[in-house]
Structure 1
Amino acid sequence: MTRIGNDLGGSQSLSTQVFKKLEQAILTNELKTGDSLNELKISSQLGVSRTPVREAIKQLEYEGLVKTVLNKGAVVVGISEKDIEDIYTIRGYLEQLAVRLAIKSLDLAALGRLREIVDLQEFYLGKGDLVKAHLLDSDFHAMLYEMSDSRPLTQTLTSFHNYIQRAREMSFQSRGRAEESIREHRAIVDAMERRDVPAAEKAVETHILNARHNLMATRAGKAAEGVE
């Protein structure tokens, strides 16, 4: 089994921290489909007892990332390339709908806040703080969804966004991708300000395609590291 880093710590429960650690390893392909999750080995690697590991594995099974196999125990189901393709394809269509609805009844105050988020992203990126720049990425999309003024759409998009959030954290560690993502955000805001629906939809499409490509490349890199 791939060795998992033991950088746990914070206010969350141990089981939650272990869950997030394992979930990230699965979503980034460090833990691959078919890998067995040995409670004893994981608890030893993370420096925790087996109880939080057992609880984390149960949560992973609930999320559909792990399944119990007879005589093997917990085995990684993972998230396939097709899953990622499907998630980003659906997310792309829905985010295009979100900007279309947002422009239809454009809230200029909300648009101003959206632009402020992009400005802050540039500020923190300039200071080399990729963590804060990434947190603001989530704020950008949350604000965009809210501007659609559609609760069902917002809930659906938030679910997609959160599902791959920890995998995206890894891909955002590249300064090049962070800079590209911020430029894409600004293109979306500029098109919305002009009330140019086709341009806004195209900007969203470009952003989603590039994000998907970068995540796939990150996963491939993590998988290669696991082989070495």
Structure 2
Amino acid sequence: MYFDPNDKQSLTAKVYARIRDDIIEGRYSNGDYLVETKLAEELDVSRTPIREALKQLELEDLVVSIPNRGVMVQGMTSHDIDDIFTIRHLIEGQAAYWAAERIDQKSLVRLTEIIELMEMYTRKNDATNLARLDTEFHDVIFSACDSRVLRHILAQLHQNTRQVRRNSLTTPERPTRSLSEHRRVFEAIEQHKPEEAKAAMEAHVANAHNRRADA
């Protein structure tokens, strides 16, 4: 069986998450057709959860149903990615601002651990683990800002740029710069300096966007 039977998440949710990840990670290319029977066989499920998952993905504009043709991947375009970075720049600084005001000790300890691990994996030039830690670093801040709405929006935006962020960490000097930027955000939050945390986060997002434009 492909999915863990002990996982309490619904089968449709698991199928949806798997196909969505495959689209975001680029395992399916824009223009590829997703065939229900083939997906059902690959994931060892019936066609019903496949069909429901594809409907959810169509609501997110990640796939489009074409009459008499099937379901086609349209994924994230370059324009979509640029839009996401622009939106992140507008609102992610606010998450850091609120986190600096509201963060608890447990979350601060975890951010400290993440920074220490980032330092180790930067020395090892391990892009895979750095990408994982980058996601967790931002997730901790999103939770610490104590805004359910903002956390949901930013988590979704980060999911949609996961592959882009991972790829950027394979470029020369990027891991070192990223570590420095994360450390500045962390130090401002640790010292409970909201304005500095906001400015550091906005600079971090802007730098990531600029490096993408220069790539």
For normalisation by structure 1, the TM-score amounts to 0.69
**Match status 1:187 vs 2:187:** no
Give the Cα separation in 2 of the matches to 1:187 and 1:147.
Answer: 17
Decide whether the 8 Å contact of 1:122 with 1:133 is kept in 2: no
Q: Does 1:147 align with 2:148?
A: no
Q: In the aligned structure 1, how far is the partner of 2:85 from the partner of 2:205?
A: 7
Q: Distance in 2 between matches of 1:96 and 1:215?
A: 19
Distance 1:83 1:38, change over 3 A: closer
Q: 1:166 aligns with which of 153, 156, 163?
A: 163
CA 1:10/1:177 → structure 2, altered by over 3 Å: closer, same or farther?
A: farther
**Are 1:136 and 2:133 matched, yes or no?**
yes
Residue 68 of structure 1 aligns to a residue in which SS?
Answer: strand
Name stretches of at least 5 consecutive residues in structure 2 with no aligned partner. none
Per-residue deviation at 1:73? 3.1
1:13-92 alignment, distance < 5 Å:
20-25=21-26, 31-32=29-30, 35-37=31-33, 39=35, 55=50, 58=54, 60-92=57-89
Return closer, same or farther for 1:20/1:69 CA change in 2, 3 Å cut-off.
Answer: same
Counterpart Cα distance in 1 of 2:147 and 2:60: 26
Q: Distance in 1 between matches of 2:168 and 2:23?
A: 17
Give the Cα separation in 1 of the matches to 2:34 and 2:193.
53
**Residue 104 of structure 2 contacts residue 144 of structure 2 at CA under 8 Å; is this kept in 1?**
yes
Q: Give the conservation status (yes or no) of the 8 Å contact 1:31–1:76.
A: yes
Structure 1 gaps of 5+ residues are 1-8, 219-228
Provide closer, same or farther for how the CA distance between residues 208 and 52 of structure 1 changes in structure 2, counting only shifts above 3 A. farther
Q: Is 2:108 aligned against 1:111? A: yes
Q: CA deviation at 1:83?
A: 2.1
Q: Distance in 1 between the 2:25 and 2:46 partners?
A: 16
Cα distance in 1, alignment partners of residues 188 and 196 from structure 2: 6
Which digits, 9 at most, give the CA deviation of each residue in 1:176-205, with x for residues without a partner? 322221111001112233443333222111
CA contact (8 A) 2:24 2:161 kept: no
Asked if structure 2 preserves the Cα contact closer than 8 Å seen for 1:115 and 1:186, the reply is no
In 2, Cα distance between equivalents of 1:38 and 1:98: 37
Equivalent-residue separation in structure 2 for 1:10 and 1:211 (angstroms): 35
Q: Using the aligned pairs only, state the percent identity.
A: 28
Give the match for residue 226 of structure 1.
Answer: none
Separation of aligned partners in 2, 1:75 and 1:105: 44
